[in-house]
Chain A
Amino acid sequence: MEYVCIVCPNGCRLTVEPTQEGVVVKGHKCPKGEAYGRDEFIDPRRVVTAAVRTSDASYPFAPVKSDRPVAKKDVDAVLRHLYRLTVDLPVRRGAMCCTDCCGTGASIVFTRTLPPSSGGGAP
Chain B
Amino acid sequence: MIAVKKIDSVVIGAGAAGMAAAEVIAQAGCSVALVDREEQTGGILLQCIHNGFGLHHFGRELTGPEYADEFSERVRAFPVEIFLETTVVNIVPHPGFSRVITCSALHGVTVFEATTIVLAMGCRERNRGTIGIPGTRPSGVFTAGLAQRLLNIEGYIPGRRAVIIGSGDIGLIMARRLTWVGSEVAAVVEILPHPSGLTRNIVQCLQDFSIPLLLSHAVTQIYGKDRVEGVEVAPLENGVPVAEKARIVACDTVLLSVGLIPENELSCTAGVTISPNTGGPVVDHRLQTSAAGIFACGNVLHVHDLVDFVTEEAQRCGGHVVDYLRNKIPAAASVAVEAGANIKYVTPNQCAAGTAQHFYLRPLVIREKAKLAVMQGQTPVFSRNLSHVRPAEMISIDLDNKIMGGLELDRPLTFSIR
Q: Is the CB of B204 within 8 A of A6?
A: yes
How many residues in A have their beta carbons less than 8 Å from beta carbons of B?
29
- Asked whether A63 and B200 contact (CB < 8 A) given A49-B63, A93-B65, A122-B40, the answer is no
Instruction: Give complex CA distance A42, B52 in Å.
Output: 23
Interface residues of chain A, those whose CB is within 8 Å of chain B, are: 3-9, 11, 46-47, 49-51, 53, 60-61, 63, 65, 72, 75, 79, 83, 93, 111-113, 120, 122-123
In the complex, besides A6-B203, A112-B46, 9 extra interface pairs with C-beta distance below 8 angstroms are A7-B200, A9-B52, A9-B306, A51-B151, A60-B155, A63-B49, A112-B66, A122-B72, A122-B82
Q: Are A51 and B152 in contact (CB under 8 A)?
A: yes
The 9 A-B pairs at the shortest CB distance, nearest first, are namely A11-B199, A112-B65, A63-B49, A6-B200, A111-B63, A61-B155, A111-B65, A4-B203, A111-B66
CB of B41 closer than 8 Å to a CB of A: yes
* Complex CA–CA separation, A46 to B82 (angstroms): 37
B152 close to A61 (CB less than 8 A): yes
Q: Which residues of B contact A83 (CB under 8 A)?
A: 181
Closest to B66 in A: A111
Known: A5-B200, A122-B40, A122-B84. A65 touches B51 (CB 8 A): yes
B265 CB within 8 Å of chain A: no
Contacts of A63 in B (CB 8 A): 49, 63, 65, 152
**Interface residue ranges of B61-82 to A (CB < 8 Å):** 61-63, 65-66, 68-69, 72, 82
Contact B154 A60 (CB under 8 A): yes
Q: Does B398 contact A (CB under 8 A)?
A: no
Which residues of chain A are within 8 angstroms of B39 by Cβ–Cβ distance? Answer: 120, 122
Chain B residues within CB distance 8 Å of chain A: 39-41, 46, 49-52, 55, 61-63, 65-66, 68-69, 72, 82, 84, 151-155, 180-181, 198-200, 202-204, 208, 305-306, 393
A53 partner residues in chain B, CB cutoff 8 A: 155
The answer to whether B208 and A9 touch across the interface, beta carbons within 8 angstroms, is no
* Minimal beta-carbon separation of B119 from chain A (angstroms): 22
B306 proximity list for chain A (CB < 8 A): 9
A49–B61 Cα distance when bound, in Å, is 12
> Which residue on chain A has the smallest CB distance to residue B199?
A11
Q: Which of A60, A72, A111, A122 contacts B49 (CB 8 A)?
A: A111
Given the interface contacts A111-B49, A122-B84, does A4 sit within 8 Å of B66 by beta carbon? Answer: no
Residue in A6, A65, A113 whose beta carbon sits within 8 Å of that of B63 in the complex: A65
Shortest distance in angstroms between A25's beta carbon and chain B's nearest beta carbon?
Answer: 16
Which has the most chain B C-beta neighbours within 10 Å: A6, A7, A50? Answer: A6
Residues of the A chain whose Cβ atoms lie less than 8 Å from the Cβ of B61 = 47
Residues of A close to B198: CB separation below 8 A = 9, 11
Residue of A nearest to B39 (CB): A120
A65 surroundings in chain B (CB, below 8 A): 49, 51, 63
How close is A4's CB to chain B, nearest CB, in angstroms?
5
Q: In whole Å, how far is A73's beta carbon from the nearest beta carbon of chain B?
A: 12
Is the beta-carbon distance between B51 and A49 smaller than 8 angstroms? yes
Complex CA–CA separation, A120 to B181 (angstroms): 28
Q: How distant is the Cα of A97 from the Cα of B356 in the complex, in angstroms? A: 47
Some 28 contacts from A to B, beta carbons below 8 A apart, are A3-B203, A4-B200, A4-B203, A5-B200, A6-B203, A6-B204, A8-B200, A9-B200, A11-B199, A11-B200, A11-B203, A46-B204, A49-B63, A51-B49, A60-B155, A61-B152, A61-B154, A63-B65, A72-B208, A75-B180, A93-B69, A111-B63, A111-B66, A112-B68, A122-B39, A122-B40, A122-B84, A123-B72
**Chain A contacts for B155, CB-based, 8 A:** 51, 53, 60-61
User: What is the CB-to-nearest-CB distance from A93 to chain B, in angstroms, rounded to a whole number?
Assistant: 5
Contacts of A112 in B (CB 8 A): 46, 65-66, 68-69
CB-defined contacts of A8 to chain B, threshold 8 Å: 55, 200
Using CB atoms, name the residue of chain A closest to B46: A112
Closest residue on chain B to residue A63 by CB atoms: B49
